[in-house]
Structure formats: C-alpha cells, structure tokens
Amino acid sequence: MNTKFIQDKNLEVYQKFFSENPLVTSAPGSFFWAGEYSVMEGGLAITQKIPLRVFVGLTFNSSKEIELKSTKNFQYSTNNFIEFEYEEPLKTKLLSFLDNYLKERNFGLIISTISEIPIGCGLNTSGAFAVALATAILLLNKKLSLQDIVNFQKTPISQLSQNENFDKVFRLAWKIECILHGDISSGTTAFTPFIFGDYPVVYFSEKRGGAFDDLAPGCRFPKNIAGQYDVLDKIFYQGISFNELFKFKTLPSWPIDFGLIYSGDVRTTATTNIAVEEVRDILKDCSFLNQKIFGKYLENKPYPDFYNIGLEKEWRKLWDKYIDALNVAVLETLNAFGVILKEGLTTEGIKKFFRAINSQHLILKVINLSSPILDYIGDFIQKEVKRLKDEYGAGCKLLGSGKKGDILFAVAYHGLRDSIDRIIKQMREETKEDIWLDYASWIDGIEKEGIKIEQYLDEKIYSKFISPGSLLLEKYFGENPPQLELISLENFEKKEKEIDLLLDIPDKKILIRGKKITSEDIPSSSATIKILLKLLENLGKSVYNRDLPASVYTRDRNELQSKITSPLINVVKKLTGKVLPLKVTGGLVDFYLKLESSNITICLLKQRF
C-alpha cells in the first residue's frame, strides 16, 4: 500500500481536507530495522522511511483556542478512512504544550490530520505527525521558511544537527513526539521523517537512564523526562546516512525484498514503554533475591560474576546486559547491511543479515515485547522460505509497538513475490486474525522524500487536490489576522449571503450580503476595490492619499467622500445594519484614509481555480 493508491481510492477525502486547510505539510512513516529500544538509552538505531504519509493541516479559528480534531486514519481492510480520537491524557498534554509554546499568538488554531499510516502498528505515525505539525507551526510563525526546507534536502544528513533551523524544528518535533510516547523518546522517529534519500539512516543520542533523582551511571538525563520537555533542547543527537557511513561509489541496488505484515491488533508506543519498565522492575527484584540467597555463602569470599551484577547499588547491570545484547545485534545488522548493499546477493552476506534481524527479535522477546501472534507470523515466513527451498532464509522481527502491530520480514530478492498473497490468506485463515500486508518494497516502492509542504496559500503553493471551480478567499474579521480559505463553488453560493462585504477582485465586483453593488450605489467599483485593498494592507493605520492607487478620487477629498467612502458606508449600513469604520481626515488635497477592524466580515475573492 502506498500514498498514490490510497489517494486514488479516496479522492474526495483529500479534496475536502485541502479545501479546509490553507497550510498543509506531510511527513512519511518509517520503521526500525534495528535498535528501537536500545536507542532510548544511548544505543544505535537503523530506520527506513515508507511511502505512506501523515498530512497535517492548520487553519485559524475565531477564538484563541487550539483545537485538535480527530484524525482520519486509513483502514486497510476496508480501503476507507475512519475517525480516530487521540487518547487522553496525551491529547490534553499536547494541547497544553502547544498553547504554552504559542502563548504570544493573537489567533486560534484548528489542527486537522489525515494518516495513511496505520496507527499503533510500529510504523511511526506519531513521529510523522510530530514532524509535519512542528514544521507547519514554525512556517505559520515565520520562524521557518520554504528555503529552509530546501536547504535541509541539500545538506548532508550528518551535518543537519549543526543547522540551526533544522535543530529548531527537529527539537520541537521531538517534544511533540515525546508527549505522544508517554514522555519517553530517543528522537529517532522525529528525525527520520525529515530526511531525504532512499536508504536507511543511522541515529543515536547520548546515554540516558534512571530518573531525575536517581540517574543511571554515566547519564546526564533520564530516559523518561517526566514532562520536562526543555530537557530535549540539551540532549546530544546525531543522524548519519548510509551513503556517508559506507561511502558507496555508486548507489547500490537492493538485494532483498522486505515488507510489513499487520498482526491483527494495535498497541501504542506509550503502553509498550510501560511494559518494558515492568521488566526492569522484575530484574530489580532478581537483584535483591540474588543478595538474599547467596550473600551468606560469599561473605569475605571473591564474588563470582553473576553476584557482582546483582549488588544492591548496581542492579541496573542486569538490565544493561539486555541492552548490550541488543546493541550487539544492531551492530551486526549495520555491518551486514553494509556488506549486502556493497556486494549484493551473496549467500554469506544475506545469511548474516537475516541472522542479525532474527537475533533482535529473540532478544526483544526476552524483554517481554513479543506475543504468540507475532512469533507465529515470523515462524510462518521462515517455514515458507524453507518450503520454497530458498537457500538464503529470512529475517523477521517485531517493530516498535511490540506485542501487537506489524512485523518486519526480509527475504532474498524476488523470494516471496509470487507467494505473498497466498501466505497472508493462509495465516488469516489459520489464526482467524485480521492479518494484512501493510507494505511490500517490490509493490509499493522505496520512499525518498522527507518533509513536504503540500499546500501553503500564503506562498501561492496550491495542492493538486484543489477541486476545479474552487475559490480562494481572504477573510478579515475583528482583531483576527487575515485568514486564507479555499471553498467550493457550491459552498460559496451558500455562504455568499453571510459575507458582509465581498470584493471580487478578478471580476472587479462588490457584493454586500450577496447583493451585487451597481454604479447607482457606488460610481466606481473597481476604484473602490483598489482603495480598500490598500487600506486592508494597512488595517488600523492612516494611509496618506498620495500612497493610495492613483485615480481622480484620490486627488481630491470631496471627490473621494462623495463618490467612494460615503456611498460605501451608506450601502453597507443599509444592507447589513453595521457601520463600516472608514474615516477621512485632513485637508482637501492632502488627506488620510483609515479603515479600522470591526465586526464587519470583509472577504476578498482572490482567485478562481
């Protein structure tokens, strides 16, 4: 499944979304080849983007509140979108964080989302959402430019952390993702969606562990930051592309096929993190038991190794042994990755690669992150490869969500292409679970692009999903900043009578509550529109008549008032009952014009599509 397929099947969903949101960004999902848990404590992670995206749209609302609408999440079993509500208390924490981050704003925001990525499957929906949202917010705040995004694409990945603008938007995305992950995040899945390129990325940050009041040895910060999101401004991080690591002379081809299989149920990363912490508590109990049972036998004796790692103040060493094992498996995977991308489909290289992936699954299983259904899928793939007499074997491992969600499989090039539909169907029938193929590299392709600006009306970037006949409006009301809005012709015809004052710029017409103003009301609509556009650019400020568009009306105050301002004020009052706060001051030749903000809704019809 990929973006194009989903969009082709659900065109109306995207058309409606883009018609409602003047600013839309998107970021891709991703998965872990290795290191999803060890990276949280200072290990290495290897990630890969997939051609499925999260779209975040921002639009202003009439209050100063920030609203997070339910997500439209694509369901693979029905090929349709369903409404998904963000869980509490994560939603409230996120809105509180954003409200504080944007505390100096004079506007309210509505955040809308389309997710093509299945939520709770380990495919980094939250990271993609965080990246798209952080980018949109900083663009809206003018703290990030379109050129900055272009520069990210051109900058070597290993140097991105040194780019001030990238660091700023990345750390904001990291904080948003951290909130959605229950305050535990390495930043890996907030980094990967930004980057451009076909191949995996390596990411790591400094060692973390323990709590604020009981840090693990060698750590400046705990793994769980407990709501202190400013800590994420201080943590060291680094991303590196495979090209930079292995210095490929030419871009390699993929000697493997890989895919993602949905196990039939979902689980959030936040709840999985809790499950991992339960294992740590078990190990702590083991440490105390170790001392209680063996202490009396070892008094004044040389300690054996098993007892050393279980001493009261060093119980963390038990957990560190698991993390060390995971780190070794990640390094195995990285080394084997370099070999297969340089040497291609060699028996020894591919077998080492699959062994490293399988090792990760076994270790993650030890720390209580697998489940019978995930083990079943992995075993089924392994047996199927053997049945087909594939000498290379297969690699299978659970993903970041753990227990449930998706499982990754990798096989030799063209290994299961002809069999995958039958395999999925057979597993579904045997387990009675809702098992699906979420992604296959040979069907859906490899994702190259990272963060994208899909639509930005302020910068005249329009989505391909804008429906023919749509209108671009700019709305002025009260103290709110002007708001750009796309609206269908059908909806506009319904809304037209609610707009107090509409300036149709292409057709040079003025409409008040849907009634077209004629020369009997105002002698020159075109001149009036030009003057009002200048005043709206300087709303609340006095504009010198010589700075107004040159015309006979702007040279003489009497001419202006008799032919433009007074007729306009009168007809607005007559048709709406409201007073247009338009004032003229000064002499006959040198005078000023001023339009104040008010409860009159003024809309500019700027463009027809």
- 488-608: CATH topology is Arc Repressor Mutant, subunit A (1.10.10)
Could you read off the pLDDT of 369-406 as tens digits, one per residue? 889 999 999 999 999 999 998 889 999 999 865 678 89
Please, what sign has the CA dihedral across residues 273, 274, 276, 281? Answer: positive
Among 9-18, 20-29, 161-170, 587-596, the minimum mean pLDDT is found in 9-18
SS3 of 516, please? strand
Look-up of token digits 């048709």 = 575
Distance CA 579, CA 84 (A): 44
- CATH topology for the 269-444 domain: Alpha-Beta Plaits (3.30.70)
Give the neighbor-by-neighbor strand order of the sheet with 582-586: 542-544, 591-595, 582-586
CATH of domain 3-254+446-459: 3.30.230.10
What pLDDT score was predicted for residue 99?
94
Query: For residue 408, what pLDDT is reported?
Result: 97
Residue 309: band (very low, low, confident or very high) from pLDDT cuts 50, 70, 90? low
CA-to-CA separations, 74 to 11, 43, 449, 512, in angstroms, rounded: 13, 33, 21, 42
Q: What is the mean pLDDT of residues 24-51?
A: 95
Q: Is residue 302 scored above 80 in pLDDT? A: no
For every residue of 573-595, DSSP letters joined together read HHHHS----EEEEE-SSSEEEEE
First-to-final CA distance of the chain: 31
Q: Of 240, 221, 30, 220, give the one whose Cα is nearest residue 125.
A: 30
pLDDT tens digits, one per residue of 449-481? 999 999 999 999 999 988 778 899 999 998 888
pLDDT, one tens digit per residue, over 90-112 is: 999 999 999 999 988 878 899 99
Q: Are the beta carbons of 203 and 142 closer than 8 angstroms? A: no
pLDDT at 27 over 70: yes
pLDDT tens per residue across span 236-263: 999 999 999 998 888 888 999 999 999 9
What stretch(es) of the chain map to CATH 3.30.230.10? 3-254+446-459
- pTM above the 0.85 mark? yes
Q: Are 177 and 189 in contact (CB under 8 A)?
A: yes
Where do you find CATH 3.30.70.890 in the chain? 269-444
CA distance 89 to 298: 49
As a whole number of angstroms, the distance between CA 205 and CA 235 comes to 7
Pairing mode, if any, of strands 483-487 and 406-412? unpaired
| Stretch 485-496: mean pLDDT | 86
**Nearest-5° Cα angle at 140, 136 to 146:** 70
* CA distances in angstroms from 95 to 57, 103, 478, listed in the order given: 15, 12, 25
Q: Which of 159, 107, 178, 161 is nearest to 137 (CA)?
A: 107
- Do residues 77 and 436 lie in contact, with contact meaning Cβ atoms separated by under 8 Å? yes
Would you say residue 526 has pLDDT above 80? yes
Q: What does the pLDDT look like over 543-564, one tens digit per residue?
A: 999 999 999 899 999 999 999 9
* CA gap 278, 449 in Å, rounded: 38
Q: Which two tokens stand for residue 339?
A: 């070999």
Q: What is the pLDDT of residues 174-229, one digit of tens each?
A: 999 999 999 999 999 999 999 999 999 999 999 998 889 888 888 999 999 999 99
All CATH 1.10.10 domain ranges in the chain, comma separated: 488-608
What is the pLDDT confidence band of residue 60, given thresholds at 50, 70 and 90?
confident
